Protein backbone atom coordinates (compact mmCIF):
# COMPACT_ATOMS: atom_id res chain seq x y z
CA UNK A 1 0.00 0.00 0.00
CA UNK A 2 1.26 3.48 -0.83
CA UNK A 3 1.41 5.87 2.14
CA UNK A 4 1.85 9.64 2.04
CA UNK A 5 4.65 11.20 4.06
CA UNK A 6 2.19 12.22 6.81
CA UNK A 7 0.86 8.68 7.01
CA UNK A 8 4.41 7.29 7.16
CA UNK A 9 5.13 9.67 10.04
CA UNK A 10 2.10 8.46 11.99
CA UNK A 11 3.19 4.86 11.33
CA UNK A 12 6.66 5.72 12.64
CA UNK A 13 5.11 6.91 15.90
CA UNK A 14 5.50 10.66 15.48
CA UNK A 15 1.89 11.27 16.54
CA UNK A 16 2.13 8.99 19.56
CA UNK A 17 1.72 5.31 20.29
CA UNK A 18 -2.08 5.19 20.04
CA UNK A 19 -2.27 6.70 16.55
CA UNK A 20 0.69 4.53 15.55
CA UNK A 21 -1.22 1.37 16.52
CA UNK A 22 -4.32 2.68 14.75
CA UNK A 23 -2.25 3.27 11.60
CA UNK A 24 -0.74 -0.22 11.88
CA UNK A 25 -4.28 -1.63 11.92
CA UNK A 26 -5.32 0.35 8.83
CA UNK A 27 -2.16 -0.60 6.94
CA UNK A 28 -2.53 -4.28 7.84
CA UNK A 29 -6.17 -4.28 6.68
CA UNK A 30 -5.15 -2.46 3.51
CA UNK A 31 -2.53 -5.13 2.84
CA UNK A 32 -4.91 -8.00 3.56
CA UNK A 33 -7.64 -6.63 1.28
CA UNK A 34 -5.29 -5.27 -1.43
CA UNK A 35 -5.95 -1.56 -0.99
CA UNK A 36 -3.52 0.77 -2.73
CA UNK A 37 -4.01 3.74 -0.45
CA UNK A 38 -5.85 5.26 2.47
CA UNK A 39 -8.80 7.58 1.85
CA UNK A 40 -10.25 10.23 4.19
CA UNK A 41 -13.54 9.40 5.93
CA UNK A 42 -16.28 11.84 6.91
CA UNK A 43 -17.54 9.98 9.98
CA UNK A 44 -17.14 6.82 12.02
CA UNK A 45 -19.55 4.67 13.99
CA UNK A 46 -18.28 2.17 16.52
CA UNK A 47 -19.77 -1.16 17.54
CA UNK A 48 -18.76 -3.00 20.68
CA UNK A 49 -20.34 -0.67 23.22
CA UNK A 50 -22.55 -2.83 25.43
CA UNK A 51 -20.81 -4.36 28.43
CA UNK A 52 -22.82 -7.47 27.56
CA UNK A 53 -20.94 -7.82 24.25
CA UNK A 54 -17.40 -6.50 24.88
CA UNK A 55 -17.19 -7.31 28.60
CA UNK A 56 -13.97 -6.88 30.57
CA UNK A 57 -11.89 -7.55 27.42
CA UNK A 58 -13.16 -4.46 25.65
CA UNK A 59 -13.20 -2.30 28.77
CA UNK A 60 -9.56 -3.16 29.47
CA UNK A 61 -8.56 -2.23 25.94
CA UNK A 62 -10.46 1.07 26.03
CA UNK A 63 -9.02 1.93 29.43
CA UNK A 64 -5.48 1.72 28.03
CA UNK A 65 -6.33 3.94 25.06
CA UNK A 66 -5.78 7.71 24.87
CA UNK A 67 -5.96 10.42 22.23
CA UNK A 68 -8.85 11.90 20.28
CA UNK A 69 -10.86 10.89 17.25
CA UNK A 70 -10.46 13.28 14.33
CA UNK A 71 -13.84 12.78 12.60
CA UNK A 72 -17.40 12.89 14.03
CA UNK A 73 -17.90 9.50 15.68
CA UNK A 74 -20.94 7.89 17.28
CA UNK A 75 -21.55 4.65 19.16
CA UNK A 76 -23.75 1.60 18.76
CA UNK A 77 -26.40 0.88 21.41
CA UNK A 78 -25.23 0.01 24.92
CA UNK A 79 -26.72 -2.44 27.41
CA UNK A 80 -29.31 -0.16 29.01
CA UNK A 81 -31.22 3.10 28.87
CA UNK A 82 -29.00 5.73 30.48
CA UNK A 83 -31.83 6.76 32.84
CA UNK A 84 -34.39 3.93 32.88
CA UNK A 85 -32.00 1.08 33.74
CA UNK A 86 -33.73 0.39 37.07
CA UNK A 87 -37.04 -0.07 35.28
CA UNK A 88 -35.27 -2.46 32.90
CA UNK A 89 -34.05 -4.52 35.86
CA UNK A 90 -30.34 -3.97 35.14
CA UNK A 91 -28.12 -4.64 38.17
CA UNK A 92 -25.82 -1.99 39.55
CA UNK A 93 -22.56 -3.79 38.77
CA UNK A 94 -23.53 -3.89 35.10
CA UNK A 95 -24.48 -0.21 35.21
CA UNK A 96 -21.13 0.72 36.72
CA UNK A 97 -19.14 -1.25 34.10
CA UNK A 98 -21.36 0.06 31.27
CA UNK A 99 -20.93 3.68 32.31
CA UNK A 100 -17.16 3.13 32.56
CA UNK A 101 -17.16 2.01 28.91
CA UNK A 102 -19.14 5.07 27.84
CA UNK A 103 -16.80 7.35 29.81
CA UNK A 104 -13.76 5.85 28.04
CA UNK A 105 -15.34 6.49 24.65
CA UNK A 106 -16.21 10.05 25.65
CA UNK A 107 -12.61 10.69 26.71
CA UNK A 108 -11.60 9.76 23.16
CA UNK A 109 -13.77 12.62 21.91
CA UNK A 110 -16.62 10.39 20.76
CA UNK A 111 -20.21 11.64 20.79
CA UNK A 112 -21.78 9.07 23.14
CA UNK A 113 -25.12 8.89 21.35
CA UNK A 114 -25.71 5.17 21.38
CA UNK A 115 -27.76 4.22 18.35
CA UNK A 116 -27.80 1.82 15.43
CA UNK A 117 -29.42 4.61 13.36
CA UNK A 118 -26.73 7.35 13.39
CA UNK A 119 -28.08 8.55 10.04
CA UNK A 120 -31.13 10.06 11.78
CA UNK A 121 -28.76 12.21 13.84
CA UNK A 122 -26.40 13.15 11.05
CA UNK A 123 -27.07 11.76 7.58
CA UNK A 124 -23.98 11.30 5.42
CA UNK A 125 -24.09 12.79 1.94
CA UNK A 126 -24.18 10.54 -1.13
CA UNK A 127 -20.65 9.53 -2.09
CA UNK A 128 -19.18 10.18 1.38
CA UNK A 129 -16.64 7.62 2.62
CA UNK A 130 -17.37 6.33 6.14
CA UNK A 131 -16.10 3.74 8.59
CA UNK A 132 -19.23 2.39 10.20
CA UNK A 133 -19.50 -0.82 12.15
CA UNK A 134 -23.19 -1.40 12.84
CA UNK A 135 -24.22 -3.76 10.06
CA UNK A 136 -27.73 -2.35 9.55
CA UNK A 137 -26.38 1.21 9.42
CA UNK A 138 -23.73 0.08 6.93
CA UNK A 139 -26.46 -1.36 4.74
CA UNK A 140 -28.59 1.79 5.02
CA UNK A 141 -25.67 4.13 4.33
CA UNK A 142 -24.57 2.15 1.26
CA UNK A 143 -27.96 1.24 -0.16
CA UNK A 144 -30.36 4.05 0.76
CA UNK A 145 -28.09 7.09 1.24
CA UNK A 146 -25.49 6.26 -1.41
CA UNK A 147 -22.58 6.72 1.01
CA UNK A 148 -19.69 4.24 1.04
CA UNK A 149 -18.57 2.05 3.90
CA UNK A 150 -17.30 -1.43 4.49
CA UNK A 151 -18.71 -3.46 7.33
CA UNK A 152 -16.15 -2.55 9.96
CA UNK A 153 -15.46 -4.28 13.24
CA UNK A 154 -15.50 -2.18 16.41
CA UNK A 155 -11.70 -1.89 16.68
CA UNK A 156 -11.14 -1.16 12.98
CA UNK A 157 -13.79 1.60 13.01
CA UNK A 158 -12.10 3.05 16.09
CA UNK A 159 -8.70 2.97 14.36
CA UNK A 160 -10.21 4.77 11.36
CA UNK A 161 -11.79 7.37 13.67
CA UNK A 162 -8.44 8.07 15.35
CA UNK A 163 -6.62 8.49 12.03
CA UNK A 164 -9.52 9.88 9.97
CA UNK A 165 -8.85 7.46 7.13
CA UNK A 166 -9.66 3.97 5.94
CA UNK A 167 -8.06 1.64 3.38
CA UNK A 168 -9.58 1.97 -0.08
CA UNK A 169 -11.10 -1.45 -0.78
CA UNK A 170 -14.47 -3.21 -0.88
CA UNK A 171 -17.54 -0.98 -0.97
CA UNK A 172 -15.47 2.19 -1.19
CA UNK A 173 -14.74 1.26 -4.80
CA UNK A 174 -17.08 1.52 -7.80
CA UNK A 175 -16.20 -1.91 -9.18
CA UNK A 176 -17.59 -3.61 -6.06
CA UNK A 177 -20.81 -1.59 -5.94
CA UNK A 178 -22.62 -3.63 -8.56
CA UNK A 179 -25.40 -6.18 -8.05
CA UNK A 180 -24.65 -9.93 -8.24
CA UNK A 181 -28.13 -11.41 -8.12
CA UNK A 182 -31.69 -10.37 -8.98
CA UNK A 183 -34.47 -10.87 -6.48
CA UNK A 184 -37.91 -10.55 -8.04
CA UNK A 185 -40.83 -9.91 -5.72
CA UNK A 186 -44.10 -9.90 -7.64
CA UNK A 187 -46.50 -9.69 -4.71
CA UNK A 188 -47.23 -6.66 -2.52
CA UNK A 189 -45.40 -6.19 0.80
CA UNK A 190 -45.80 -3.61 3.56
CA UNK A 191 -44.11 -2.61 6.82
CA UNK A 192 -42.60 -5.48 8.78
CA UNK A 193 -43.01 -7.78 5.75
CA UNK A 194 -39.73 -6.25 4.60
CA UNK A 195 -37.96 -7.47 7.74
CA UNK A 196 -39.33 -10.96 7.13
CA UNK A 197 -38.25 -10.78 3.47
CA UNK A 198 -34.75 -9.64 4.47
CA UNK A 199 -34.44 -12.48 6.96
CA UNK A 200 -35.26 -15.02 4.25
CA UNK A 201 -33.21 -13.44 1.44
CA UNK A 202 -30.13 -12.83 3.65
CA UNK A 203 -29.88 -16.55 4.38
CA UNK A 204 -29.96 -17.29 0.66
CA UNK A 205 -27.68 -14.61 -0.79
CA UNK A 206 -25.16 -14.52 2.11
CA UNK A 207 -22.59 -11.83 1.21
CA UNK A 208 -23.76 -11.14 -2.35
CA UNK A 209 -25.18 -7.80 -3.53
CA UNK A 210 -28.88 -8.33 -4.35
CA UNK A 211 -30.93 -6.16 -6.65
CA UNK A 212 -34.64 -6.19 -5.92
CA UNK A 213 -37.59 -5.47 -8.11
CA UNK A 214 -40.79 -4.73 -6.19
CA UNK A 215 -44.42 -4.18 -7.13
CA UNK A 216 -44.26 -0.75 -5.46
CA UNK A 217 -41.20 1.15 -4.18
CA UNK A 218 -40.60 0.61 -0.43
CA UNK A 219 -40.36 3.62 1.90
CA UNK A 220 -37.24 4.46 3.94
CA UNK A 221 -38.41 2.57 7.05
CA UNK A 222 -39.12 -0.53 4.97
CA UNK A 223 -35.69 -0.34 3.31
CA UNK A 224 -34.13 -0.04 6.77
CA UNK A 225 -35.93 -3.21 7.95
CA UNK A 226 -34.99 -5.10 4.78
CA UNK A 227 -31.30 -4.18 4.94
CA UNK A 228 -30.99 -4.80 8.68
CA UNK A 229 -32.40 -8.31 8.36
CA UNK A 230 -30.20 -9.22 5.38
CA UNK A 231 -27.13 -7.97 7.24
CA UNK A 232 -27.98 -10.21 10.19
CA UNK A 233 -29.17 -13.45 8.58
CA UNK A 234 -26.57 -13.03 5.82
CA UNK A 235 -23.78 -10.49 5.59
CA UNK A 236 -25.27 -8.25 2.93
CA UNK A 237 -23.74 -4.74 3.14
CA UNK A 238 -25.20 -3.29 -0.06
CA UNK A 239 -28.40 -3.84 -2.03
CA UNK A 240 -30.19 -2.06 -4.85
CA UNK A 241 -33.82 -1.27 -5.55
CA UNK A 242 -33.37 1.21 -8.35
CA UNK A 243 -34.25 0.61 -11.98
CA UNK A 244 -31.15 -0.71 -13.69
CA UNK A 245 -30.07 -3.78 -15.61
CA UNK A 246 -30.92 -6.84 -13.52
CA UNK A 247 -28.17 -9.43 -13.01
CA UNK A 248 -28.75 -12.66 -14.92
CA UNK A 249 -28.71 -14.86 -11.81
CA UNK A 250 -32.24 -14.74 -10.43
CA UNK A 251 -33.55 -15.66 -7.01
CA UNK A 252 -37.27 -16.43 -7.04
CA UNK A 253 -39.09 -15.67 -3.82
CA UNK A 254 -42.73 -16.67 -3.33
CA UNK A 255 -45.18 -15.17 -0.91
CA UNK A 256 -45.17 -18.41 1.08
CA UNK A 257 -41.36 -18.18 1.56
CA UNK A 258 -41.78 -14.86 3.33
CA UNK A 259 -44.64 -15.94 5.58
CA UNK A 260 -42.57 -16.65 8.68
CA UNK A 261 -45.00 -14.99 11.09
CA UNK A 262 -45.80 -16.86 14.25
CA UNK A 263 -48.86 -16.86 16.49
CA UNK A 264 -47.01 -18.00 19.62
CA UNK A 265 -47.70 -16.22 22.89
CA UNK A 266 -44.90 -13.94 24.06
CA UNK A 267 -43.97 -12.96 27.59
CA UNK A 268 -42.42 -9.77 26.26
CA UNK A 269 -42.89 -7.73 23.06
CA UNK A 270 -40.01 -5.53 21.84
CA UNK A 271 -40.09 -3.19 18.84
CA UNK A 272 -37.43 -0.88 17.44
CA UNK A 273 -34.72 -3.03 15.87
CA UNK A 274 -33.18 -1.03 14.25
CA UNK A 275 -34.08 1.98 16.41
CA UNK A 276 -37.45 3.52 15.50
CA UNK A 277 -37.69 6.56 13.27
CA UNK A 278 -40.12 9.34 14.14
CA UNK A 279 -42.62 7.95 11.64
CA UNK A 280 -42.37 4.45 13.10
CA UNK A 281 -43.00 5.84 16.60
CA UNK A 282 -46.03 7.72 15.25
CA UNK A 283 -47.34 4.49 13.67
CA UNK A 284 -46.96 2.61 16.97
CA UNK A 285 -48.75 5.45 18.82
CA UNK A 286 -51.68 5.17 16.36
CA UNK A 287 -51.92 1.40 16.87
CA UNK A 288 -51.90 1.82 20.66
CA UNK A 289 -54.57 4.56 20.72
CA UNK A 290 -57.15 3.79 23.42
CA UNK A 291 -55.54 0.44 24.33
CA UNK A 292 -53.76 -0.81 27.45
CA UNK A 293 -50.91 -3.29 27.46
CA UNK A 294 -51.45 -6.60 29.23
CA UNK A 295 -47.82 -7.71 29.03
CA UNK A 296 -44.55 -5.79 28.78
CA UNK A 297 -44.14 -3.79 25.57
CA UNK A 298 -40.80 -2.06 25.03
CA UNK A 299 -39.99 0.25 22.13
CA UNK A 300 -36.36 1.10 21.35
CA UNK A 301 -35.22 4.33 19.71
CA UNK A 302 -32.35 6.79 19.81
CA UNK A 303 -32.31 9.58 22.37
CA UNK A 304 -32.04 12.01 19.45
CA UNK A 305 -35.31 10.83 17.91
CA UNK A 306 -37.01 10.47 21.32
CA UNK A 307 -36.15 14.08 22.22
CA UNK A 308 -37.95 15.18 19.06
CA UNK A 309 -40.99 12.93 19.54
CA UNK A 310 -42.08 13.73 23.09
CA UNK A 311 -45.82 14.06 22.40
CA UNK A 312 -45.87 10.81 20.41
CA UNK A 313 -43.99 9.06 23.21
CA UNK A 314 -46.51 10.34 25.78
CA UNK A 315 -49.27 8.81 23.68
CA UNK A 316 -47.39 5.50 23.46
CA UNK A 317 -46.64 5.40 27.18
CA UNK A 318 -50.26 6.20 28.08
CA UNK A 319 -50.93 2.55 27.11
CA UNK A 320 -48.45 1.29 29.69
CA UNK A 321 -45.74 0.58 27.09
CA UNK A 322 -42.20 1.92 27.67
CA UNK A 323 -40.01 3.73 25.18
CA UNK A 324 -36.30 3.18 25.92
CA UNK A 325 -33.26 4.90 24.40
CA UNK A 326 -29.54 4.12 24.01
CA UNK A 327 -30.12 0.36 23.95
CA UNK A 328 -32.01 -2.52 22.32
CA UNK A 329 -33.34 -6.02 22.99
CA UNK A 330 -30.23 -7.66 21.53
CA UNK A 331 -27.39 -5.89 23.35
CA UNK A 332 -29.17 -5.42 26.69
CA UNK A 333 -29.13 -8.21 29.29
CA UNK A 334 -32.77 -7.31 30.12
CA UNK A 335 -34.25 -9.52 27.42
CA UNK A 336 -32.49 -12.82 28.04
CA UNK A 337 -34.19 -16.20 28.35
CA UNK A 338 -37.62 -14.88 27.41
CA UNK A 339 -40.33 -15.65 24.92
CA UNK A 340 -39.80 -12.54 22.86
CA UNK A 341 -42.03 -11.26 20.06
CA UNK A 342 -40.48 -8.79 17.62
CA UNK A 343 -41.39 -7.15 14.32
CA UNK A 344 -37.81 -7.29 13.04
CA UNK A 345 -35.96 -9.82 10.89
CA UNK A 346 -32.71 -8.73 12.50
CA UNK A 347 -33.96 -9.31 16.06
CA UNK A 348 -35.42 -12.63 14.91
CA UNK A 349 -31.92 -13.72 13.84
CA UNK A 350 -30.05 -12.55 16.94
CA UNK A 351 -32.63 -13.18 19.71
CA UNK A 352 -31.92 -16.92 20.00
CA UNK A 353 -28.11 -16.71 19.76
CA UNK A 354 -27.34 -13.48 21.63
CA UNK A 355 -30.23 -13.40 24.15
CA UNK A 356 -30.91 -17.10 24.50
CA UNK A 357 -34.55 -16.12 23.99
CA UNK A 358 -37.21 -17.99 22.09
CA UNK A 359 -37.83 -15.31 19.47
CA UNK A 360 -40.63 -15.02 16.94
CA UNK A 361 -41.80 -12.41 14.50
CA UNK A 362 -45.14 -10.73 13.84
CA UNK A 363 -46.28 -7.65 11.99
CA UNK A 364 -46.13 -4.43 14.00
CA UNK A 365 -49.93 -4.52 14.33
CA UNK A 366 -49.91 -8.13 15.55
CA UNK A 367 -47.12 -7.35 18.03
CA UNK A 368 -49.21 -4.55 19.49
CA UNK A 369 -52.30 -6.75 19.64
CA UNK A 370 -50.31 -9.52 21.37
CA UNK A 371 -49.01 -7.00 23.92
CA UNK A 372 -52.54 -5.74 24.60
CA UNK A 373 -54.12 -9.21 24.94
CA UNK A 374 -54.14 -10.84 28.35
CA UNK B 1 17.70 -29.18 10.92
CA UNK B 2 15.80 -25.94 10.67
CA UNK B 3 13.79 -24.78 7.72
CA UNK B 4 12.86 -21.20 6.92
CA UNK B 5 9.49 -20.43 5.31
CA UNK B 6 8.83 -16.89 4.10
CA UNK B 7 5.53 -15.14 4.73
CA UNK B 8 3.76 -11.80 4.96
CA UNK B 9 4.10 -9.75 8.14
CA UNK B 10 0.76 -8.60 9.56
CA UNK B 11 1.79 -7.72 13.15
CA UNK B 12 5.43 -7.03 13.99
CA UNK B 13 7.61 -8.78 16.57
CA UNK B 14 9.37 -12.07 17.20
CA UNK B 15 7.94 -15.00 19.14
CA UNK B 16 8.65 -18.69 19.61
CA UNK B 17 7.21 -21.71 21.33
CA UNK B 18 5.68 -25.13 20.85
CA UNK B 19 3.26 -25.31 17.92
CA UNK B 20 -0.49 -25.74 18.34
CA UNK B 21 -1.93 -26.52 14.92
CA UNK B 22 -5.49 -26.84 13.65
CA UNK B 23 -7.29 -26.92 10.32
CA UNK B 24 -10.40 -25.40 11.90
CA UNK B 25 -10.96 -21.62 12.10
CA UNK B 26 -11.03 -20.15 15.61
CA UNK B 27 -13.55 -17.84 17.23
CA UNK B 28 -11.90 -15.92 20.05
CA UNK B 29 -15.08 -14.48 21.57
CA UNK B 30 -16.72 -17.43 23.27
CA UNK B 31 -14.20 -19.87 21.78
CA UNK B 32 -11.24 -19.15 24.07
CA UNK B 33 -11.22 -18.51 27.81
CA UNK B 34 -9.41 -15.17 28.24
CA UNK B 35 -8.40 -15.93 31.83
CA UNK B 36 -6.94 -19.40 31.26
CA UNK B 37 -5.90 -19.20 27.60
CA UNK B 38 -7.66 -22.47 26.85
CA UNK B 39 -9.80 -23.31 23.82
CA UNK B 40 -13.31 -23.88 25.17
CA UNK B 41 -15.44 -24.02 22.01
CA UNK B 42 -17.22 -27.38 22.47
CA UNK B 43 -17.29 -27.91 18.69
CA UNK B 44 -13.55 -27.32 18.19
CA UNK B 45 -11.15 -30.23 17.68
CA UNK B 46 -8.68 -28.61 20.09
CA UNK B 47 -11.13 -28.06 22.94
CA UNK B 48 -9.25 -28.04 26.24
CA UNK B 49 -5.90 -27.13 24.63
CA UNK B 50 -3.91 -24.26 26.13
CA UNK B 51 -2.67 -21.66 23.66
CA UNK B 52 -0.61 -19.67 26.20
CA UNK B 53 3.00 -19.24 25.09
CA UNK B 54 2.49 -21.34 21.96
CA UNK B 55 2.87 -20.62 18.28
CA UNK B 56 -0.75 -20.95 17.23
CA UNK B 57 -1.32 -21.97 13.61
CA UNK B 58 -4.86 -21.93 12.21
CA UNK B 59 -6.45 -20.97 8.89
CA UNK B 60 -8.15 -17.76 10.06
CA UNK B 61 -10.43 -16.23 12.66
CA UNK B 62 -14.22 -16.27 12.63
CA UNK B 63 -17.11 -14.93 14.71
CA UNK B 64 -17.48 -11.60 16.50
CA UNK B 65 -15.05 -8.74 16.01
CA UNK B 66 -14.98 -8.48 19.81
CA UNK B 67 -12.56 -11.41 19.41
CA UNK B 68 -9.84 -8.79 18.82
CA UNK B 69 -10.31 -7.60 22.39
CA UNK B 70 -10.14 -11.17 23.68
CA UNK B 71 -6.62 -11.43 22.23
CA UNK B 72 -5.77 -8.23 24.07
CA UNK B 73 -7.17 -9.65 27.28
CA UNK B 74 -5.17 -12.89 26.84
CA UNK B 75 -2.03 -10.81 26.50
CA UNK B 76 -2.80 -8.81 29.65
CA UNK B 77 -3.38 -12.08 31.51
CA UNK B 78 -0.09 -13.55 30.21
CA UNK B 79 -2.07 -16.27 28.44
CA UNK B 80 -1.62 -15.12 24.85
CA UNK B 81 0.12 -17.14 22.16
CA UNK B 82 3.79 -16.17 21.64
CA UNK B 83 3.00 -15.78 17.94
CA UNK B 84 0.24 -16.59 15.45
CA UNK B 85 0.42 -18.11 11.99
CA UNK B 86 -2.62 -17.84 9.71
CA UNK B 87 -3.18 -19.27 6.27
CA UNK B 88 -4.87 -15.99 5.34
CA UNK B 89 -5.51 -13.38 8.04
CA UNK B 90 -8.81 -11.57 8.41
CA UNK B 91 -9.79 -8.49 10.38
CA UNK B 92 -10.50 -10.02 13.80
CA UNK B 93 -7.16 -11.73 14.37
CA UNK B 94 -5.14 -9.10 12.49
CA UNK B 95 -6.50 -6.26 14.62
CA UNK B 96 -6.26 -8.32 17.82
CA UNK B 97 -2.62 -9.22 17.16
CA UNK B 98 -1.65 -5.63 16.38
CA UNK B 99 -3.24 -4.09 19.48
CA UNK B 100 -1.79 -6.88 21.65
CA UNK B 101 1.76 -6.91 20.23
CA UNK B 102 1.50 -10.55 19.20
CA UNK B 103 3.59 -11.31 16.08
CA UNK B 104 1.28 -12.47 13.26
CA UNK B 105 2.36 -13.83 9.89
CA UNK B 106 0.26 -15.19 7.02
CA UNK B 107 0.50 -16.25 3.35
CA UNK B 108 3.48 -18.57 3.91
CA UNK B 109 5.12 -20.10 0.83
CA UNK B 110 3.78 -23.49 1.92
CA UNK B 111 0.61 -24.51 3.77
CA UNK B 112 1.58 -23.89 7.41
CA UNK B 113 -1.02 -26.30 8.74
CA UNK B 114 0.62 -29.14 6.80
CA UNK B 115 4.23 -28.00 7.29
CA UNK B 116 4.19 -27.54 11.07
CA UNK B 117 4.22 -30.56 13.35
CA UNK B 118 2.06 -30.06 16.47
CA UNK B 119 4.28 -29.73 19.54
CA UNK B 120 7.44 -28.95 17.55
CA UNK B 121 9.37 -25.77 18.35
CA UNK B 122 8.58 -22.91 15.96
CA UNK B 123 10.02 -19.40 15.67
CA UNK B 124 8.02 -16.59 14.05
CA UNK B 125 10.10 -13.62 12.91
CA UNK B 126 7.81 -10.75 11.98
CA UNK B 127 10.66 -8.29 11.58
CA UNK B 128 12.13 -10.05 8.56
CA UNK B 129 9.03 -12.07 7.63
CA UNK B 130 9.74 -15.76 8.07
CA UNK B 131 8.89 -18.79 10.14
CA UNK B 132 11.55 -21.27 11.28
CA UNK B 133 10.42 -24.86 11.81
CA UNK B 134 12.14 -28.15 12.69
CA UNK B 135 12.51 -30.22 9.58
Neighbours of A289 (CB within 10 A): 10
Transcribe B97-116 into DSSP letters: HHHHT--EEE--SS-HHHHS
pLDDT in tens, A63-113: 999 999 999 999 999 999 999 999 999 999 999 999 999 999 999 999 999
State the Cα–Cα distance between residues A304 and A291, nearest whole angstrom: 27
Distance CA A211, CA A154 (A): 28
**Contact flag B94-A32 (C-beta cutoff 8 Å):** yes
Contact A348, A175 (CB under 8 A): no
Across the interface, whether the CB atoms of A155 and B8 are under 8 A apart is answered no
- pLDDT, position B66: 83
Model confidence pLDDT, tens digit, residues A306-363 = 999 999 999 999 999 999 999 999 999 999 999 999 999 999 999 998 899 999 999 9
Q: How many domains does chain B have?
A: 1
CATH of the domain at B50: 3.50.30.10
What is the pTM for the complete model shown?
Answer: 0.93
- The alpha-carbon gap from A278 to the nearest alpha carbon of chain B, in Å, equals 31
Domain that holds residue B86: 2-134
The predicted-structure confidence for A243-274, as pLDDT tens digits, reads as follows: 778 899 999 999 999 999 998 999 999 999 99
Closest CA in chain B for residue A52: B66
Query: To the nearest whole angstrom, how far is the Cα of A21 from the nearest Cα of chain B?
Result: 7
Please give the average per-residue pLDDT across B92-120, as a whole number. 95
Contact flag A29-B91 (C-beta cutoff 8 Å): yes
| Short-list A68, A69, A93, A66, CA closest to A79 | A93
Q: 10 Å Cβ neighbour count for A93?
A: 9
Q: Please write the tens of the pLDDT for every residue from B16-39.
A: 999 999 999 998 988 899 999 999
Nearest CA in chain A to B30: A53
CB A60 to CB B90 under 8 A? Answer: no
Domain annotation for chain A: domains and CATH numbers:
5-174 (3.30.499.10), 178-258 (no CATH), 268-371 (3.30.499.10)
Percentage above 70 pLDDT, chain A: 100
d(Cα A367, Cα A359) in Å, to the nearest integer? 12
Instruction: List, in sequence order, every residue forming a beta bridge with B64; answer none if it has no partner.
Output: none
Which residues have C-beta within 8 Å of that of residue A60, sequence separation ≥ 6? B69, B72, B73, B76
Q: Which residues pair with A165 in a beta bridge?
A: A40
Closest chain A residue to the Cα of B97, Cα to Cα: A25
Instruction: List beta partners, residue A29.
Output: none
| Inter-residue contact A271 to A191 (CB < 8 Å) | no
The predicted pLDDT at position A364 comes to 98
Amino acid sequence: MHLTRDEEDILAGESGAVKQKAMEILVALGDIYNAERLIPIESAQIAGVSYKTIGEAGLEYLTDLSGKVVVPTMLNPMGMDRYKWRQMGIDETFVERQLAIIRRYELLGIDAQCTCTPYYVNAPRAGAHLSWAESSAVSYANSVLGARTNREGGPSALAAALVGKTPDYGYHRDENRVPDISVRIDFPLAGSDFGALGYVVGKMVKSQVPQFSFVAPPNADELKALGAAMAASGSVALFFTSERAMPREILEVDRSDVDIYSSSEPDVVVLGCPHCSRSELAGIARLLEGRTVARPLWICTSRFVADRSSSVISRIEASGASVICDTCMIVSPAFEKRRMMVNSGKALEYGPSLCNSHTFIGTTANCITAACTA
Amino acid sequence: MLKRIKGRIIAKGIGEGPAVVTRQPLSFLGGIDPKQGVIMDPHHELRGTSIAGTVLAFPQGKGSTVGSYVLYQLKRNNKAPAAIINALSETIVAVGAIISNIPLIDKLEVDPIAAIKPGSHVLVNCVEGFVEVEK
